[in-house]
Chain A
Amino acid sequence: MMHINRSIKVVFFMSMAFLLAQQARAQFQGDSEAPTVSGNVGILWQSYNEDSLIGAVVPPAKSGYNAFANVNYSQGNFSAGIRYESYLNAIIGFPGRFNGSGLGYRFARYKDAEKGIDITIGNFYDQFGNGLVLRSYELRDLGIDNALDGFRLVLKPTSGIQLKLIYGKQRLDFQDGLINGPGIIRAADAEFDVNALVDKWQDKATKVKLSGSFVSKFQEGSPFSVDSLLLAMPENVAAWSGRLKAIRKKWTLDVEYAGKVNDPNADNGFTFRKGEAFMATLAYSQKGFGALVSAKMVDNMSFRSDRDLQLFDVPINFIPAITQQHTYNLAGTLYPYATVIAGETSASADLFYTIPKGSTLGGKYGTKLAVGFAAANSLDTTPYPEDEQASAVLGFERQSWGPGDELYVRDFNISASRKLNKKWKAKYTYFHFDFNTLTTPVTTDYKGIVNADIHVLETQVRVRPKQSLRTEFQGLWVGKDETNPNLLQDKGHWATVLAEYTWSPHWSVSVLDQYNYGNNIVAKRLHHVFGTVAYIDGPHRLSLGYGKRREGIFCIGGVCRATPASNGFEINFSSRF
């Protein structure tokens, strides 16, 4: 705790000094860069009722309350800010250990774009390249926050070069204030714009950027024994990456390779194999058409501030999932895929096309088409013979970067959307998933591959210029259970209906019903109805909700968290100033 208090002090004194200096300057000179205060607020309150049918339980406090407020001060090149957070108690689905009220984030920053200098002390978020070796970020609605806490220096010594230096610890927990994980992170990143640096390249049509990162983590550790071997725990773990981005007219190529030294941790069963990752994306686009193909291979790249922790706790790096983040209720929340952290080989392809307006197929307003396919398999590995020491120390050996035998996911989707006339719009989407629930455990009801087909029809009608009704009709059908053909896979078939009426610019009312009509167990063929009324006024939004939320996976952007079932009221307020 000491270091946190000390850095709070440092932030405080630096802020104080700057504020006084700026105040004095403003008074004497009549400041052209007036100071500003801005920020935002979010409050989420939920009450809980017992509902044994959907499995909703009432926590001892009977309600949950999460709140935060950011207050940022800025003047000219200087800025500073705090985030005050409250979890009294944390709403269910959040990390339950988040508790109490206090400061979760504080920083002071000086930035001079002309001189090419940017210094931050306290908390900050940053990302090197694709994030394969370093990414600190927050998804507040999911309780995910691995903010760095320390020092960051960004330098642009000349046009075309950017250097970053980072020293710090990472946010792990919140108990009346920020609690950092044990590891110390030291990191550096350099980006070079070849066209700006090499004279010959200045006017070339091909734009090339080269970058490299180095990240080292220190965490105390003691020797441990495996079988009859006494092994030293690596206390310093280094990771690095090299990146290339090349753009030529309508083409873009993005490649990153990353490596990591031996790092026994909970995710790899405390084995000593090195880690490797490779990502490449090739994209093409022109007006009306876009396409991209990606390949990603990840082997043993779990990298954390605490080697004993897993899941969302103190990740230093970020390994994005190969599949798209789907937003429709049934496609997005029942079988969302996340990268298998031990390793996977994956690829994806996407196509976007707009059939021009006025053509036979395109209609009066044009038709937007999108097709996506993503696949991930296990790595191509062979285990060492059990009696060899290598089995205990290294676990397995990888043969190639190609796919192994075990299927992790297949995700195919296609959609077409069209404005039919001045009032009506419609969109149809079809999804097919083959989803391995053993390697991505999104359900406890089925162990194996779920084959799901999903159809979604979305329509929207503008009833008046400022009023519209949007509806979604969704159905999810699964295959037969392989071990018992009389049963359906997992929870069986689902249907969802959503109706949303909006009255711009202030009001919105919606009702969502998720109906598990095809569950193998008749008693579980339940409706989960949730209604919401929201009032919006510019940047302020207040909503009141009531109903049942099924247990499931809640995703934002590319990240998902399991949430338990609940039944009750919800009040949500969000604002900025």
Chain B
Amino acid sequence: MTHSLPPLHQSKFLVHVFLLGLANSFATQSWSQNLPDLALKDMEGNTVQTLDLIQQDGPTVFCFWATWCSPCKRELNNYAEFYEEWVDETGVKIVAVSVDDQRSVNRVAPYVNSVGWDYDILLDPNREFSRAMNVNNVPHTFVVDRDGKVVWSHNNYADGDEYELQEELLKLSE
């Protein structure tokens, strides 16, 4: 195969676009990400707008996970033990966003119901939502405030991380 290289000045051009964008952002003081407004399906096949999930009376947590990801399942199973308590104390809602693709997406509902999670579940089989949230790999957890702003995020899960999350949730509910 022979291919010519893209002329360098065009890449530079694009870099300028983004410098302009960055300058624009600084000017309006906004570095932390807002939740993107995307249409995803829930387990019943209904379309859900991501922005409609943001709560006004408490923080919203988005956990990206997959049925083939053991640390993800450990994380959400561990949160499940505290969930009732967290809801009482902080008014939190957890949304578990499955990135299972077509190979395993049909296993999501049977798995979720069998372990009895009380979370809202979204399906992101082609990773549109996780791409918009700049998720490199799962598990990845986000805390979103009432204005839809990402105020905390964490990559990976280790047992005990729930304490850090709990602190963040308590801070937000003060």
Contact = CB atoms under 8 A, between A and B. Distances in A.
Contacts of A288: 113-114, 116
A1 B6 contact: yes
Interface in A267-296: 281, 283-292, 294
A125 B128 contact: yes
B101 A207 contact: no
Contacts of A71: 18
A80 interface: yes
Interface residues of B, number: 75
A531 B147 CA distance: 42
B164 interface: yes
Contacts of A354: 114-116
Nearest to B110: A290
B14 A106 contact: yes
A interface, how many residues as a size bin? 35 or more
Contact of B17 (A19, A352, A538, A575): A19
Interface stretch (A8-16, A219-227, A234-242, A483-491): A8-16
Given A5-B7, A468-B158, A574 B111 contact: no
A574 B136 CA distance: 7
Contacts of B171: none
Interface in A293-328: 294, 318, 320-321, 324-327
Q: Max chain A CB contacts within 10 Å: which of B70, B101, B131, B133?
A: B101
Contacts of B113: 285-290, 352
Contacts, number: 261
Given A38-B33, A82-B18, A209-B45, A9 B10 contact: yes
A397 interface: no
B173 interface: no
B160 A504 contact: yes
A576 B134 contact: yes
A247 B44 CA distance: 7
B134 A40 contact: yes
Interface stretch (B55-63, B87-95, B149-157): B149-157
Given A40-B134, A558-B101, A5 B10 contact: yes
Given A35-B30, A137-B127, A5 B103 contact: no
A83 to B, nearest CB: 10
B28 A292 contact: no
B17 A292 contact: no
A541 interface: yes
B128 A536 contact: no
A79 B37 CA distance: 11
B156 A508 contact: yes
Interface in B38-52: 39, 44-46, 49
Interface in A461-480: 462, 464-468
Given A177-B5, A292-B107, A352-B111, A320 B11 contact: no
Given A113-B37, A325-B68, 20 more contacts: A1-B6, A8-B10, A8-B13, A9-B13, A16-B17, A23-B27, A38-B33, A71-B18, A73-B21, A80-B21, A102-B6, A103-B6, A290-B109, A320-B101, A326-B68, A354-B114, A468-B158, A538-B152, A558-B104, A577-B31
Interface of A: 1, 4-5, 8-9, 11-12, 15-16, 19, 22-23, 26, 31, 34-40, 42, 70-75, 79-80, 82, 100, 102-103, 106, 111, 113, 125-127, 130-131, 135, 137-138, 140-141, 173, 175-177, 179, 207, 209, 245, 247, 252, 254, 281, 283-292, 294, 318, 320-321, 324-327, 350, 352-354, 368, 370, 460, 462, 464-468, 502-505, 508, 534, 536, 538-541, 557-558, 574-577
